[in-house]
Copies of this chain bind each other. A is one copy, B any other.
C-alpha cells in the first residue's frame, strides 16, 4: 500500500517531506536537467541577500573525510534579480519554493523579506527559511544564531513582513553550547518551524603549502560526516518540545542525508521535513532518489503516513 508522504508546516501541506538544501541546488534550473524539481516536497533556494554578492575568492572548497568544507560567502544575485529571474522560473515549472534569506543586519533580513513578499511570483512560495547562521555585521561578525537575542530579533522582524499564513523557518547552526536555547528564542519570536542544521565551522590546512586551504580560511563542514550532529540537534530540540519547554513546532532536518535511510534517521529523531545538501554533489539525482528510497522504507515499516514516523525514536527507547 502506498504511504501517504504528505507533511504539513503551519498552513501549508507539501506532497512529501523531501527538499533540496539551501546553497546545494542553486535555484533550480541545473537540477531540473536531472529530475523534475516540482516533484520534491519543496525546493529550497540559495540564501539571497539584498544586494548582489560576488562571494569569496577561491579555493572555495576542500574535500574532507566523508564531507567537505565550503566558503562560498553567500554569492548571489540579490533579492531583486532573484524575484525577477529565479522565482518566476521555479513557479513556471510548478515547484513549491522555500526561499532562504539573510542579511548583514537584522533590518536587512526584513527588507529582503519585504521585497520577496511584494514580488509577482510570491504565490509559489510555501515558506521562508531565515538563514540566521551568517555573520552579524553589527555584532563583531558573530553569527546571529550563536545568540538567542540576536536570533529572536531577526525572526521577529521577518515575521512582521510576512503574511500570517506564510510559514517561516529559522535555520540554526550547531556551533553553539546549547541549541535548545536558540530554538526556544526563535520559536518565541514567531518561527513556524526550525531548520537544523547548518554547517559546522571547520578548517583544512594545505600540508604542501602549509597554509589554510580555503581562500576564506575557515569554512562550513557538511556531508555524511556531520549527520550524527544533525540527529543529535534534532533529538535535543524535539525532546525539549516534548517536555513542554516551549511550543512544539515542526522541524526540518538537514545534515548528511545521502539515502532514504539517512532521511528516516532524521525523521525518527524528530524532523518532519528533510533536506538533501552535499549528497547532491555526489549524485545530482540524490533528492529524488532519497524520496523514492524513503517512501519504500516507510512502506517496509508498515505505516500508512510518513508522519507516524516523525520523532518515533523518542517513544521507542529501551532502558535496560
Instruction: State the A residues within 8 Å of B (CB).
Output: 57, 62, 64-67, 69, 146, 175-178, 200-205, 207, 209-212, 215, 217-219, 221, 223-229, 231-232, 235, 256, 261, 264-265, 268-269, 297, 301, 309, 312-313, 316-318, 320
Contact = CB atoms under 8 A, between A and B. Distances in A.
Contact of A229 (B200, B215, B316): B200
Contacts of A264: 207
Top 5 A-B pairs ranked by shortest CB distance?
A202-B228, A225-B225, A65-B224, A65-B66, A66-B66
A231 B210 CA distance: 13
Contacts of A268: 205, 207, 210
Contacts of A317: 211-212, 217
A231 to B, nearest CB: 4
Contacts of A223: 65
A18 to B, nearest CB: 16
A297 B67 CA distance: 25
B64 A205 contact: no
Nearest to A256: B65
A131 to B, nearest CB: 18
A318 B205 contact: no
A43 B18 CA distance: 48
A238 B226 CA distance: 25
A209 B65 contact: no
Copy count, this protein chain: 2
Q: Is the interface of A mostly helix, strand, loop or mixed?
A: mixed
A201 to B, nearest CB: 6
Contact of A205 (B57, B221, B256, B269): B269
A57 B204 CA distance: 36
Given A177-B175, A202-B229, A309 B210 contact: yes
Nearest to A220: B228
A1 B169 CA distance: 59
A316 B211 contact: yes
A146 B177 contact: yes
A229 B235 contact: no
Contacts of A207: 261, 264-265, 268, 297
A201 B229 contact: yes
Contacts of A297: 207
B146 A210 contact: no
Contacts of A205: 231, 265, 268-269, 313
A101 B128 CA distance: 48
Q: Which of A218, A231, A301 neighbours the largest number of chain B CB atoms within 10 Å of its CB? A: A231
A146 B277 CA distance: 30
Most chain B CB within 10 A, of A66, A176, A256, is at: A66
